[in-house]
């Protein structure tokens, strides 16, 4: 009962708008104090907290978080999105649906180079939505393409979601194996998750592009044909612009992902390459200055502090929850469901999907995954497949009305003439595509596991 009371108290504190990190830590310590007074909580659980925090401080994988955040913010300051949109519009603007194609491709490139969903949606909304509306695009189509493309940062590596998820799943996988009596456990790395997410991420991009092309020809009134290329570039200037704007970000993405996939560098080392590469691109695009560097460092520090403060609060919550037998309660519930691991996985995915309406991915990863992860992985579920399923599931949740975070981000920067109802309706076809990919992953786990298995054998 105390474990359930703790969970409800944390949920209530979060719903009141209290900062998540302090809601987690404060509610947990309060309930632990009550438990100590009642004699049903062992204070020894809290004595493990210093070791937990020291483990976080010395975790080399989590060092990738500030480095990838720095990379994303620096590229945003370098106005790379604006230049990519101009270049892609020059390339595809003369085709029917060309602007929609451009937004999807730029969203993919930004996802692979920044990995920050909120920043991508806001940037794309500010830069491309006015242009699309001016060119006669239906508001539902324009907003749907922007929201869906912005959420690609959840699944396309190097994603901060995958970094955090990979670290948590690694610990959960080892714990699951120890619980099964395997005392020389296998490991799963962030790099494995990056490789596993590549194919599902690219399938999503391909489905988005196919949908835009089909809609452009089946409902031409929603995406009018623009007679001239939007960027107005021709001949030598056009190809020069393509080379200067498109090639450097592709080289940076290739250096980061290639070094990880090729086994040359760990995700943390590759993140440092990405951070330095972002500085070089900012200099190349004449957007680098000491003031910009200061602002990027400040933003990176703020985001990193937020992530690690939530991690500390989640560590306190986890210890107190386990101290009250909450993990045993969850284990008993999931393992006694009719249908075995299939039912357990469906229930877990449904809970994560609903939590995505009220919690950010960081909170979900640090609060829920450490509890359910060891239970599911002990049922002989592949950790890479589970990680990719969770990432796609959260991506779908963040796009789903009426509470999807991506929809809120776009609503905040969309012109007043764009109705909230149009943003919601525009997202529905893309939600269907994401559910299609999630279903395909459930039926064919090899979509996520085939590449990591090949690279691990090499």
How far, in Å, CA of 391 to CA of 105, rounded?
20
Q: Per the domain annotation, does 336 fall within a domain?
A: yes
Residue whose entry in the numeric block shows the structure tokens 């229930």 = 347
Q: Report how far apart, in Å, the C-alpha atoms of 37 and of each of 163, 186, 196 are.
A: 39, 41, 48
Is residue 358 scored above 50 in pLDDT? yes
Is residue 197 scored above 70 in pLDDT? yes
Quick one: pLDDT band at residue 278, thresholds 50, 70, 90?
confident
Is residue 61 scored above 90 in pLDDT? no
Residue 226: predicted pLDDT: 63
Tokens of 251: 């080289």
Residue 420: predicted pLDDT: 85
Q: Per the domain annotation, does 42 fall within a domain?
A: no
How far, in Å, CA of 245 to CA of 252, rounded?
12
Q: Per the domain annotation, does 56 fall within a domain?
A: no
How far, in Å, CA of 155 to CA of 406, rounded?
14
Tokens of 50: 């210093």
Residue 179: predicted pLDDT: 73
CA neighbours within 13 Å on the CB side: how many for 28?
25
pTM, two decimals, is 0.82
Quick one: pLDDT band at residue 154, thresholds 50, 70, 90?
confident
Q: Per the domain annotation, does 34 fall within a domain?
A: no
- CB atoms < 10 A from the CB of 229, how many? 17
Average pLDDT, the chain: 82
Quick one: pLDDT band at residue 22, thresholds 50, 70, 90?
confident
Residue whose entry in the numeric block shows the structure tokens 């393509």 = 242
In this predicted model, what pLDDT tens digit does every residue of 320-340 receive, in sequence order?
888 888 777 877 877 788 877
Residue 93: predicted pLDDT: 64
In this predicted model, what pLDDT tens digit does every residue of 216-238 receive, in sequence order?
888 888 887 765 444 444 545 66
Instruction: Report which of 198, 199, 197, 225 is spatially closest to residue 101, judged by C-alpha positions.
Output: 225
Least confident piece of the model among 110-124, 260-274, 285-299, 410-424: 110-124
Residue 113: predicted pLDDT: 67
Please give the tally of structural domains in the chain.
1
How far, in Å, CA of 423 to CA of 140, rounded?
6
According to DSSP H, which parts of 233-289 are helical? Answer: 235-261, 267-284
Highest mean pLDDT among 4-8, 177-181, 249-253, 277-281: 277-281
Is residue 401 scored above 80 in pLDDT? yes
How far, in Å, CA of 347 to CA of 344, rounded?
5
Domain that holds residue 331: 65-457
Q: Per the domain annotation, does 144 fall within a domain?
A: yes
When pLDDT is averaged across residues 53-66 and rounded to a whole number, the result is 81
Q: Per the domain annotation, does 306 fall within a domain?
A: yes
Supply the DSSP string of 92-150, one letter for each residue.
HTTSTTHHHHHHHHHHHHHHHHT--HHHHHHHHHHHHHHHHHHTT--HHHHHHHHHHHH
When pLDDT is averaged across residues 41-52 and rounded to a whole number, the result is 83
């Amino acid at each position: 009962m105390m474990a359930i009371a703790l969970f409800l108290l944390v949920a209530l504190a979060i719903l009141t708008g209290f900062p998540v990190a302090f809601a987690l830590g404060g509610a947990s310590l309060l309930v632990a104090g009550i438990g100590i007074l009642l004699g049903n909580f062992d204070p020894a659980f809290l004595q493990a907290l210093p070791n937990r925090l020291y483990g976080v401080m010395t975790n080399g994988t989590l060092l990738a978080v500030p480095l990838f955040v720095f990379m994303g913010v620096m590229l945003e300051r370098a106005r790379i999105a604006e230049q990519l949109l101009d270049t892609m519009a020059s390339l595809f603007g003369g085709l029917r649906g060309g602007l929609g194609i451009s937004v999807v491709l730029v969203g993919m490139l930004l996802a692979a180079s920044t990995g920050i969903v909120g920043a991508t949606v806001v940037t794309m909304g500010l830069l491309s939505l006015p242009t699309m509306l001016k060119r006669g695009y239906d508001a539902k189509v324009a907003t749907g393409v922007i929201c869906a493309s912005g959420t690609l940062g959840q699944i396309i590596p190097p994603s901060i979601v995958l970094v955090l998820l990979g670290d948590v799943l690694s610990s959960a996988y080892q714990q699951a194996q120890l619980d099964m009596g395997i005392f020389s456990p296998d490991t799963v790395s962030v790099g494995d998750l990056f490789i596993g997410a590549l194919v599902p991420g690219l399938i999503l991009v391909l489905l988005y592009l196919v949908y835009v092309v089909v809609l452009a020809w089946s409902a031409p009134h929603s995406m009018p044909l623009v007679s001239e290329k939007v960027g107005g570039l021709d001949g030598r200037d056009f190809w020069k612009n393509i080379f200067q704007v498109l090639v450097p970000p592709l080289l940076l993405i290739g250096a980061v992902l290639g070094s990880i996939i090729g086994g040359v560098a760990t995700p943390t080392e590759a993140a440092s390459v990405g951070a330095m590469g972002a500085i070089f691109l900012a200099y190349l695009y004449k957007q680098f200055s000491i003031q910009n560097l200061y602002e990027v460092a400040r933003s990176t520090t703020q985001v990193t502090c937020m992530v690690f403060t939530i991690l500390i609060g989640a560590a306190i919550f986890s210890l107190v929850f386990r101290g009250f037998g909450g993990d045993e309660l969850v284990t008993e519930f999931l393992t006694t469901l009719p249908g075995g691991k299939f039912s357990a996985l469906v229930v877990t995915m449904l809970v994560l999907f609903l939590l995505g309406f009220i919690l950010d991915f960081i909170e979900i990863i640090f609060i829920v995954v450490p509890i359910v992860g060891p239970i599911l992985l002990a049922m002989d579920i592949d950790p890479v497949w589970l990680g990719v399923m969770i990432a796609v599931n959260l991506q779908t949740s963040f796009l789903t009305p009426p509470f999807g975070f991506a929809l809120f981000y776009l609503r905040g920067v969309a012109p007043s003439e764009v109705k909230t109802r149009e943003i919601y309706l525009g997202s529905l076809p893309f939600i269907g595509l994401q559910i299609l990919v999630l279903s395909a992953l459930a039926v064919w786990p090899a979509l996520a596991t085939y590449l990591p298995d090949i690279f691990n054998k090499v």
